[in-house]
Amino acid sequence: MTGSSSQIIVALAGQPNSGKSTIFNSLTGARQHVANYPGITVEKKMGTYRFDGRKTVVVDLPGTYSLTSYTQEERVSRDFLLHEKPAAVVDVVDASNLERNLYLVFQLAEMGIPMALALNMMDVAQQRGLKIDTNALSQQVGMPVVPTIGNRGKGINELRQAVDQISKDGGAPQSSLRLDYGTALEPVLARLEKSLSEDVTLATRYSLRWLALKLMENDSEAGRLVREHAANTGDILSSVARERELFHSEQGQTAEQAIAISRYQIAGEIVGRCVKREKEERRTLTDRIDQVVCNRAAGPIFLGGVLFFLYYLTMTIGGEHVAPWAWKYWAMLRDVIAGILPAEGLIRSLILTGIVDGVFAIMNYLPIFLILFLLIAILEDSGYMARVAFIMDRVLRAFGLHGQSTLPMILGGVVVGGCAIPGVMATRAMKDQKARMTTIMIVPLMNCMAKVPLYVLLVSIFFEEHQAIMLWFMSLITLGVALIVASVLSLTILKREESEPFILEMPPYHLPTITGVIRRAVERTWLFVKKVITIIVAVAIVVWVFITFPGLSKERTAYYDGQVNTATETFMKKIGEDNPYAKLLAGTGLKEFGQFWDRYKKKKMGIKGKDAKEALKEKFSRENPEFFKIVNKGKGLDGKKDKHAKKVYAAYKKLDKKLKRLDTARRKETVHVSFAGRFGRFLEPVSQWAGFDWKTNIALASSFAAKENLVATLGTIYSVGEGPSGATLASAMAEDTAETWTPLHALALMLFVALFPPCIATLIMVRVETGSTKWMLFAATYPIILGFIIATMVFQGGHLFGLTAIQTMISLSLLTFAILAVTYFAGERSVLKKQLSS
């Protein structure tokens, strides 16, 4: 598309954290992730803008320090520039860090694509007392230079103009910059270029000087290009090998070293000519902050404090203030939906208890998520996350992880409350493939927001006196188990994965931008909402079908119908035929009255205050004065007593109780004979080892799709009627489980859930991030086995030694930490061994 004047492609390249995505967003109005942390953008992203009537497609490339083919990002960027042939490249350069950035500028220029520099972070450079002569710089590098301040949108239009100029009809001259690699290397390059130029394919496709340099650097991709396209591959490659060896022996350094040295020397010279230091650099604010934040003693304490506040703010602001406020609106919305649906029957139960309650149960976490993600985004954009990696690296490395594993683990919910999906996604910034894979495998073991309701439910029933302690134990044990798993994985099946050196830039701190932070938080929350809408709805339907069908047999249905009839007849007999209300309640009248009764009772429960009560009474009386007299215990609105109505009230109260009991029994039996019930009972012989009965099995199976289902499904199974709100479910379960469940049952279940496989949405993300179905399946199966072993151990061990649940929990923690210590030292040894051998 280079030649077409109607549309051009422009690539944004540059070193990590130089502000490419910020510039990209300003140019195109798109919303790329921006964070003060090197390596945020990993794949290329596209956006467009129009300038002077011409459409420009902008591609945001991943940040790279260089253009070798060692890392994924470098390959992505380089392949794009080589094969997509953009009309121009804009190199986004960090002005406060010019020398190192020029190193990449030279390499881009060598590829022979028309180029412009966006001299970004001018504000930072100025703060540091650097004065850059942009005209001189432009002359030195032989291309337009546009000063910009990305996060304030400064210089963006000038940049568009520059791009327009250099890409005019694809006829622009490429950069006139040509580096001199010195007397030792230049003749070699000339010889190579000449022999390459004999190959027509290569000569027309690539800049030969660039290719010659890459071959001398022993770049594997350059070798591949030659093998793919050249006719006399063997000749070229063998002469390259010869030249490299000769160079090494004559110069005492490898060609790649010599090339890098020349580039940095020239970069240094250019900086010397174009940049003036106006004031001596004092200790910057960043230095002073780091002195505290990275201090040996204060650093870890500060980090602990930050984490504490992160969760504290999330739970108090989010959990106690924002969430209840939002719940009110969710509840209102639910009532609206309930009002629209047909009053009873299958459709209502499917939509209301299956879908609406399932979705809303999760939407309840939305405010909490939003706040957690906002706080994390602030940390990321400030630059603190790189320091967290610095502080945590030594500890995590012993378990096969990496300093950069911290962020994914926090997102996944190290202490309590997170989501594995953004956690797994955040591993993208990690360059160390081995540590990255290990991190992906353990992030789902963290305590994501969806596991919390079950903990809370069970803890409130079975560990009333030790609620807070139990929750702490849960997070400690899951963290301990996750670290053990990480250690074991990295020493065994992940042993051979590629490991990268830990060389991490510490960006200067800056104030997070509001839009950037909000964007990021909303985006992560949105991921979660999308999952809710798609997967949960599907699962809710499936679970509902499995729980509802095949339904009761004819005989049993007849039995229940008969019971209902008998009860109704008894009721009619009790009020007597001569009762003036008898006619009113005959036939469908009784049903109508039943609904009236339920509605009135429900409304009455929800209101307080005398006036409101009076208003309610008036409303219902207006709707149906006869019915109202009954439900108001025989008193009309005028206060007159009616003894017939009172009699009906007393009789109906009994009938109502009886009908509700029958309904519950019918539902329970339906679940029992349903497909789900059969499945749950089928697993019972095995699952009983861990103390799970068939009802628990059903709930666990449904939670595989999304953990949030667990509580909802338990709600459906325990028949809490419509809308399993926490309190009623707790009492229903407490009642139902009083005889059969011990705290040990609850503990085993909590531990199993803590380690239970990631939900389907997370598995999909694991598939995306590892690029492998095998790893996805592994991530899905190992936690089941591990969880089952631990749950069984706890349940059987607790019984065997006659321990209480709390004692069992303490023993398990001790055991976990003993194993943790062993794995720590095993990991330590392998780290040391590696160091000695290198």
- Binding of residue 124 to other proteins (CB under 8 A): no
Instruction: Report how far residue 99's alpha carbon sits from residue 111's, in angstroms, rounded to the nearest whole number.
Output: 20
Instruction: Report how far residue 729's alpha carbon sits from residue 727's, in angstroms, rounded to the nearest whole number.
Output: 5
Residue 196 is encoded by which pair of tokens? Answer: 């390459």
Per DSSP, the three-state class of 431 is: coil
- Binding of residue 41 to Mg ion (CB under 5 A): yes
**How many C-beta atoms surround the C-beta of residue 555 within 10 A?**
8
Instruction: Report how far residue 350's alpha carbon sits from residue 357's, in angstroms, rounded to the nearest whole number.
Output: 10
Give me the least distance between CB of 59 and ligand GTP, in Å please: 12
Residue numbers 27-46 binding other proteins by CB under 8 A = none
Closest CA to 104 of 66, 77, 68, 140: 66
Query: How many alpha carbons lie under 13 Å from residue 640 in its C-beta half-sphere?
Result: 5
Strand partners, 674: none
Query: How many alpha carbons lie under 13 Å from residue 516 in its C-beta half-sphere?
Result: 24
158 binds, among Mg ion, other proteins, ligand GTP, none (CB under 5 to 8 A by kind): none
User: According to CB under 6 A, which one of 318, 516, 691, 787 is a site residue for ligand GTP?
Assistant: 516
Question: If you write DSSP's letter for every residue of 383-434 in order, what string do you get?
Answer: THHHHHHHHHHHHHHTTT--GGGHHHHHHHTSSS---HHHHHHGGGG---HH
- Binding of residue 15 to Mg ion (CB under 5 A): no
User: According to CB under 8 A, which one of 112, 170, 300, 589 is a site residue for other proteins?
Assistant: 300
User: According to CB under 8 A, which one of 5, 220, 232, 257 is a site residue for other proteins?
Assistant: 257
533 binds, among ligand GTP, other proteins, Mg ion, none (CB under 5 to 8 A by kind): none
Give me the least distance between CB of 48 and other proteins, in Å please: 32
- Binding of residue 100 to other proteins (CB under 8 A): yes
- Binding of residue 256 to other proteins (CB under 8 A): yes
User: According to CB under 8 A, which one of 241, 261, 777, 822 is a site residue for other proteins?
Assistant: 261
Strand partners, 90: 12, 116
CB 302 within 8 A of CB 292: yes
Strand partners, 540: none
Give me the least distance between CB of 60 and ligand GTP, in Å please: 7
Span interacting with Mg ion, options 15-23, 134-142, 535-543, 791-799, rule CB under 5 A: 15-23
Chain-centroid distance, C-alpha 378: 16
Sheet holding 115-120, edge to edge: 45-51, 54-60, 7-14, 88-94, 115-120, 145-147
Instruction: Report how far residue 551's alpha carbon sits from residue 532's, in angstroms, rounded to the nearest whole number.
Output: 28
Give me the least distance between CB of 409 and Mg ion, in Å please: 22
Site string for other proteins, 455-494 (x = CB under 8 A): ----------------------------------------
When the beta carbons of 21 and 499 are compared against Mg ion, the nearer one is 21
When the beta carbons of 299 and 358 are compared against other proteins, the nearer one is 299
- Binding of residue 798 to ligand GTP (CB under 6 A): no
Give me the least distance between CB of 371 and Mg ion, in Å please: 25
When the beta carbons of 20 and 629 are compared against ligand GTP, the nearer one is 20
Q: Is 395 exposed, middle or buried (0-12, 13-18, 19+ CB in 10 A)?
A: middle
Span interacting with Mg ion, options 39-47, 227-235, 458-466, 534-542, rule CB under 5 A: 39-47
Give me the least distance between CB of 838 and other proteins, in Å please: 6
Closest CA to 90 of 158, 136, 140: 158
Count of residues binding other proteins (CB under 8 A)?
46
68 binds, among Mg ion, ligand GTP, other proteins, none (CB under 5 to 8 A by kind): other proteins
Per DSSP, the three-state class of 610 is: helix
Give me the least distance between CB of 387 and other proteins, in Å please: 9
- Binding of residue 431 to ligand GTP (CB under 6 A): no
When the beta carbons of 105 and 124 are compared against ligand GTP, the nearer one is 124
194 sits in which H/E element: helix 182-197
Q: Cα-Cα-Cα-Cα dihedral of 65, 71, 77, 82, to 10°?
A: 110
Radius of gyration of the chain (CA): 35
257 binds, among other proteins, Mg ion, ligand GTP, none (CB under 5 to 8 A by kind): other proteins
- Binding of residue 21 to Mg ion (CB under 5 A): yes
Span interacting with Mg ion, options 20-28, 117-125, 278-286, 358-366, rule CB under 5 A: 20-28
Strand partners, 239: none
Tokens 């994390």 label which residue? Answer: 376
Q: Which residue is nearest to ligand GTP (CB)?
A: 63
When the beta carbons of 162 and 258 are compared against other proteins, the nearer one is 258
Instruction: Report how far residue 231's alpha carbon sits from residue 234's, in angstroms, rounded to the nearest whole number.
Output: 9
Residue 756 is encoded by which pair of tokens? Answer: 């239970």
Pairing outcome for strands 45-51 and 54-60 = antiparallel
- Binding of residue 504 to other proteins (CB under 8 A): yes
When the beta carbons of 244 and 667 are compared against other proteins, the nearer one is 244
Query: How many alpha carbons lie under 13 Å from residue 621 in its C-beta half-sphere?
Result: 15
Give me the least distance between CB of 251 and ligand GTP, in Å please: 34
- Any idea what the Cα angle at residue 739 is, between residues 736 and 743, rounded to 5°? 95
Per DSSP, the three-state class of 91 is: strand
Residue numbers 383-422 binding other proteins by CB under 8 A = 386, 389-391, 393-395, 397, 403
b/e burial code for range 520-537 (CB count within 10 A of at least 16 → b): bbbebbebbeebbeebbe
Residue numbers 357-386 binding ligand GTP by CB under 6 A = 381
User: According to CB under 6 A, which one of 27, 121, 326, 486 is a site residue for ligand GTP?
Assistant: 121
Which residues contact residue 493 at a Cβ distance below 8 angstroms, ignoring those fewer than 6 apart?
Answer: none
Which residues contact residue 427 at a Cβ distance below 8 angstroms, ignoring those fewer than 6 apart?
Answer: 405, 408, 436, 439, 440, 443, 769
CB 20 within 8 A of CB 13: yes
Site string for ligand GTP, 138-167 (x = CB under 6 A): -----------xxx----------------
Give me the least distance between CB of 96 and other proteins, in Å please: 8
Strand partners, 94: 120
When the beta carbons of 63 and 412 are compared against ligand GTP, the nearer one is 63
- Binding of residue 676 to other proteins (CB under 8 A): no
- Binding of residue 123 to other proteins (CB under 8 A): no
Give me the least distance between CB of 121 and Mg ion, in Å please: 14
Binding residues for ligand GTP, rule: CB under 6 A, are 14, 16-22, 34-36, 38-41, 63, 120-121, 123-124, 149-151, 381, 510, 513, 516
Binding residues for other proteins, rule: CB under 8 A, are 65-66, 68, 70-71, 96-97, 99-100, 103, 256-257, 260-261, 264-265, 286, 290, 294-297, 299-300, 386, 389-391, 393-395, 397, 403, 500-508, 831, 834-835, 838
